[in-house]
């Protein structure tokens, strides 16, 4: 049996699952991020105890604990200053949880874990090379190469939200200008449409509101052009798009596909496949389960030494 933990800025989602990724029980507790790392770790521990109780399974039957965490992960499992966990400079959460539970612990960036979850349990079951994008408050991504998470040379690959799409474009939260996130995230769409959030834009757009349709169309143009370009570079089996904004469905996917196809080379166009994520709000916890099932210590060691 496996425990998957989705460590978010406001909630901790913890599930007990079997070796096939089937969830037996899951619980949700407040992260209480403002109270600092110690309190958050206490809440992690509490969530594990609660989930085991709910599943009626003793800790002794657990073989691995997977954690999907925001921000970059250094080394095997050190969380470094994630934007939505204030006060976390460098916390070796892997070591902490290993000591606490005496179990194998696997820690992964949440977007990478989500990409693996879509590969193993979601839209990408038959894919070899896949890009996962999440569009919500920000735009993040995870890359799967040869059915494995691709972390890059320094563990920070996948930042599709900070690819430049508009030279000298609007300022992004990261400090640069014209990033995809700055023109196509939920808040960017809402701002352009003069609404409070992306959901309000969607509702107006479905009623035919011109400005809302335009806001969605513009975001889709940038997302589509970016994924079409990335597909020319990486020649992927598929691009999976999730996150709150992706719930708009065809309103967003139709123009995304149009622009991606426009920018794809003719030789790649016929292979271009852009699909909505299958896993919804549970993608985080399924990602945490996926990294346990996939990321055996041997595999990790091989990947590290570069001779896989």
* Cα distances (Å, whole numbers) of residue 7 to 28, 84, 104, 185, 190: 10, 10, 17, 22, 27
Q: In whole angstroms, how close is the CB of 262 to its own copies at the nearest point? A: 7
User: Which of these ranges, 7-15, 83-91, 122-130, 243-251, lies near its own copies under the rule CB under 8 A?
Assistant: 122-130
Q: In whole angstroms, how close is the CB of 159 to its own copies at the nearest point? A: 4
Q: Does 225 bind its own copies (CB under 8 A)?
A: yes
Residue 218 CB coordination number (10 Å): 17
Among 44, 62, 216, 230, binds its own copies (CB under 8 A): 230
Q: Are 287 and 110 in contact (CB under 8 A)?
A: yes
Look at residue 210 and give its three-state secondary structure: helix
Neighbour-count burial of 92, counting CB atoms closer than 10 A to its CB (0-12 exposed, 13-18 middle, 19+ buried): middle
Per-residue contact string for residues 124-153; x = within reach of its own copies by CB under 8 A: ---xxx-----------x-x-xxx--xxxx
Among 235, 249, 281, 297, binds its own copies (CB under 8 A): 235
Q: Any alpha helices (H) in 18-131, and if so which ranges? A: 37-55, 93-101, 110-121
Q: Give residues 267-296 in contact with its own copies (rule: CB under 8 A).
A: 267-268, 271
Q: In which residue are the tokens 């389960």 written?
A: 289
> Is the CA virtual torsion 241, 217, 229, 158 positive or negative?
negative
Tokens found for residue 2: 């496996």
Q: Are 192 and 218 in contact (CB under 8 A)?
A: yes
Q: Does 256 bind its own copies (CB under 8 A)?
A: no
Q: Are 12 and 44 in contact (CB under 8 A)?
A: yes
Q: In whole angstroms, how close is the CB of 217 to its own copies at the nearest point? A: 13
Among 84, 136, 229, 282, binds its own copies (CB under 8 A): 229
Residue 154's contacts (CB-CB under 8 Å, 6 or more residues apart) are: none
Q: Which is nearer to its own copies, 98 or 159 (CB)?
A: 159
Q: Give residues 59-98 in contact with its own copies (rule: CB under 8 A).
A: 72
Neighbour-count burial of 71, counting CB atoms closer than 10 A to its CB (0-12 exposed, 13-18 middle, 19+ buried): middle
Q: In whole angstroms, how close is the CB of 227 to its own copies at the nearest point? A: 10
Q: In whole angstroms, how close is the CB of 76 to its own copies at the nearest point? A: 17
Q: Which is nearer to its own copies, 176 or 281 (CB)?
A: 176
Q: Does 184 bind its own copies (CB under 8 A)?
A: no
Per-residue contact string for residues 153-172; x = within reach of its own copies by CB under 8 A: xxxxxxxx-xxxxxx-----
Q: Is 34 left (phi over 0), alpha (psi -120 to 50) or beta?
A: alpha
Binding site for its own copies (CB under 8 A): 72, 127-129, 141, 143, 145-147, 150-160, 162-167, 174-176, 221-222, 225-226, 228-230, 232-237, 262-268, 271, 303, 306, 308
């Amino acid at each position: 049996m496996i425990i998957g933990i989705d460590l978010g800025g406001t909630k901790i989602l913890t599930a007990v699952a079997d070796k096939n990724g089937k969830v037996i029980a899951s619980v949700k507790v407040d992260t209480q991020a403002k109270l600092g790392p110690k309190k958050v770790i206490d809440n992690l521990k509490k969530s594990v105890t609660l989930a085991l109780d709910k599943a009626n399974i003793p800790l002794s039957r657990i073989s691995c604990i997977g954690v999907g965490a925001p921000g970059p992960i250094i080394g095997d499992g050190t969380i470094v200053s994630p934007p939505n966990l204030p006060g976390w400079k460098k916390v070796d959460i892997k070591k902490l949880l290993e000591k606490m539970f005496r179990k194998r612990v696997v820690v992964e960036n949440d977007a990478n874990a989500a990409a693996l979850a879509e590969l193993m349990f979601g839209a990408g079951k038959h894919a070899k090379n896949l890009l996962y994008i999440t569009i919500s408050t920000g735009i993040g991504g995870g890359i799967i190469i040869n059915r494995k998470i691709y972390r890059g040379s320094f563990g920070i690959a996948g930042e599709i939200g900070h690819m430049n799409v508009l030279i000298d474009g609007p300022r992004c939260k990261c400090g640069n200008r014209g990033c995809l996130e700055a023109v196509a995230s939920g808040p960017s769409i809402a701002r352009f449409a003069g609404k409070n959030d992306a959901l309000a834009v969607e509702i107006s757009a479905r009623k035919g509101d011109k400005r809302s349709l335009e806001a969605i169309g513009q975001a889709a143009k940038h997302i589509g052009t970016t994924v079409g370009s990335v597909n020319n570079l990486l020649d992927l089996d598929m691009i999976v798009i999730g996150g709150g904004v992706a719930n708009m469905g065809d309103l967003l996917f139709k123009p995304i596909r149009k622009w991606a196809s426009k920018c794809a080379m003719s030789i790649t166009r016929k292979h271009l496949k852009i699909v909505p994520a299958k896993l919804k709000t549970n993608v985080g916890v399924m990602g945490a389960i996926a990294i346990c099932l996939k990321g055996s210590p041997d595999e990790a060691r091989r990947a590290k030494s570069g001779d896989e």
